[in-house]
A and B are shown apart, each in its own frame.
Chain A
């Protein structure tokens, strides 16, 4: 089946630790995106990538880092510099012809 997968579904982290969230897609989409969602708020863009080996900061990139070494993969690292990392993290890829984004199931990160 074609789609976007994210792992893990739930992640617990101690303060001061870096963690990496996985995002993989087999839709052959060039563009991939990372968002975070907090209760009662819309999705906010963290980073995005239009092609392999290229990525751009979104609206709230501080404390995060990404890489795009393969078309299928766009992992997100939440660093210890991120002051309030507890959130629901969503990865998406975009079909260029329709500007439509498709989302993975998300990762819920909780900092203990």
Chain B
């Protein structure tokens, strides 16, 4: 079983739709969580951190459920420019605080 698992998609949605991605992690000692966005053939870029209380940044909302060990990302009012791969990232708590990446969920927003 992979340490961080995501539905690879693709999720094909129309502009203006609301879409949600989930991610599960297996290491219960994980302490920090992030969503990164990666455009085709580009480097990943931080989208948002994920806090236990949940957090929102404009059209994006991230939630963490420690008991069930999953993280979610909700995108409201999808734009064409939201089309990308969304990577779920978990910090493995050991020397060096290494990040563990999910394989990513592909989102395609169509007009």
A residues neighboring B (CB under 8 Å): 31, 33, 35, 40-45, 48, 50, 56, 58, 88, 90, 94, 98-106, 108
Contact = CB atoms under 8 A, between A and B. Distances in A.
A94 B32 CA distance: 13
Given A35-B101, A42-B103, A99-B32, 11 more contacts: A40-B8, A41-B103, A42-B4, A42-B102, A43-B87, A56-B96, A90-B44, A98-B49, A100-B49, A103-B43, A103-B44
A45 B97 CA distance: 12
A88 B43 CA distance: 9
Interface residues of B, number: 23
A99 B91 contact: yes
Interface string B42-80: 111110010000000000000000000000000000000
Interface residue SS majority, chain A: strand
Contact of B97 (A44, A94, A102, A104): A94
B34 A100 contact: yes
A107 B15 CA distance: 33
